[in-house]
Amino acid sequence: MRDDSARRVRWFPAGVIAALLAVLVCAGISNVDRNPQPQLVADGIPGRPLPPATSGPALAAGTPYADLVRHALADLDALTLPNGATLAGNNGPWRYVWPRDASFVAAARCAIGQYAQASKILGFLKQVRPKTGRWEARYFAETGGVPADGREPQLDGSGWVLWATWFCGRDLPAYWPMVKESADQIVAELGADGLPAASPDYWERTESEVTLGIVAPLLTGLRAGTAIARELGHTADAARWQTAFDTLSKATTRHFGPDYPRTPARAVSALEGMRIGVNGGADAIVTVLGPPFAPADPEIDRAITRTQDALTQPNGGVTPGEQWRADGVAWTPQTALFALSAAARGDRPTAERLLTWLDTHRTPSGALPEKVNRDVQPAGEAPLGWTSAVVVLTVAALEKPLPMP
């Protein structure tokens, strides 16, 4: 009988490779089917005028990124209603006010000296603030009511509103009730482990455990709230919030360090007690643990660099996280956050590279889109208020250091 075993051995590796390639191709096709190529929902806001080129140092003619900033501010003007409500976007499911996005817009306004516009935005937030409990995910712009769409309240709003109020630093006594209620809510959320309860964050989904998307803005918020309380002479509140900040800070280091993934590590190595971020994955919100939201820290700097490397997509932008859908699409708010982080940490080349990428991938109307798809084309809603605000903050940070709580 003929012995074909040698032939079978020779062909076995090739057969395995072919099978694996087939599986990968099928998986890729399946992933594309599950995550179709996004396209532009809308481009620009009809009738919005450009601000004059002399509207501030960041807009002066000939200044790098002047056109980018001018368009971003024009879009923010168009997205902000007379009552101070700042829309996340102009269309459909974006046409609401998220406390997160509005806080960034207020801070961006203050970063270039537009305090009157920022005051209107913070005034709207003061009007709709929760007297007890978490901020709602979003609000109707015209009435301040809460959409009955099943979205859960989102705790990170308490942190972002505190940060924006401190950042602007104007008329603080008028905002004290909002400051106190937000900071007290953060304190009330901290559990025996020093971390807050699970809450949806900027990923806009139900979470079963606390995420860095909640912890990072709460740390910034407590630091900002404590600074406001001290400035206004509320020493007891300042002491209480400082204690809560210390508790949360230590818990964050203990449960998220040294890599600071999206969720706390759930496994511990026997080697030197090393924490391993099982199922956590990198999250772009790690940028909020460093400047301009918090003082520089070498460990955080390394985590930010590792995270940016992990989340950078083939099209040059970044995705929100490793657990985000694997579709090769970049999201401009997170790309802009890495640009802001780089600018605030003194890494001008990285900040300029990412700003140039954002500038290059604007829509035909000049708006900053929500996404850049696999074909390197603008996609999603355009303009997106959050991205526009972070771009303004980044350019301002390149000109002079931003205030940091």
Tokens 């002079």 found at: 400
Say which CATH number the domain at 393 has. 1.50.10.10
pLDDT higher than threshold 80 for residue 277? no
Burial class (CB in 10 A: 0-12, 13-18, 19+), 20: exposed
What are the structure tokens assigned to 326, written together? 């694997």
**CA separation for the pair 285, 322 (Å, rounded):** 12
- 87 belongs to a structural domain: yes
Residue 209 belongs to some domain of the structure: yes
Residues contacting 235, CB < 8 A, separation 6+ = 229
Q: Which pLDDT score, from 0 to 100, does residue 220 have?
A: 98
Cis link prior to 258 (omega < 30° from 0)?
yes
Domain count for the chain: 1
pLDDT exceeds 50 at position 126: yes
Helices (H) and strands (E) in the chain, counts: 12, 5
Whether residue 378 is contained in a domain is answered as no
pLDDT > 70 fraction of the chain, expressed in percent and rounded = 85
More confident residue, 339 or 27: 339
Query: In which domain, by residue range, is 126 found?
Result: 50-304+385-399
Q: What is the pLDDT of residues 168-203, one digit of tens each?
A: 999 999 999 999 999 999 999 999 999 999 999 999
Q: Which residues of 262-276 are buried (b: 16+ CB within 10 A; e: fewer)?
A: bbbbeeeeeeeeebe
**Is 297 a member of any domain?**
yes
Residue 58 has what pLDDT? 54
Taken as a whole, the chain contains a residue count of 405
Say yes or no to pLDDT of 364 above 70.
yes
Q: What average pLDDT does range 2-13 have in this prediction?
A: 40
Tell me what pLDDT residue 265 has. Answer: 74
Lowest-confidence segment of 49-58, 87-96, 153-162, 231-240 by average pLDDT: 49-58
Q: Does 355 fall in a domain?
A: no
- Per-residue pLDDT for 218 more than 80? yes
Query: Quick check: is 404 in a domain?
Result: no
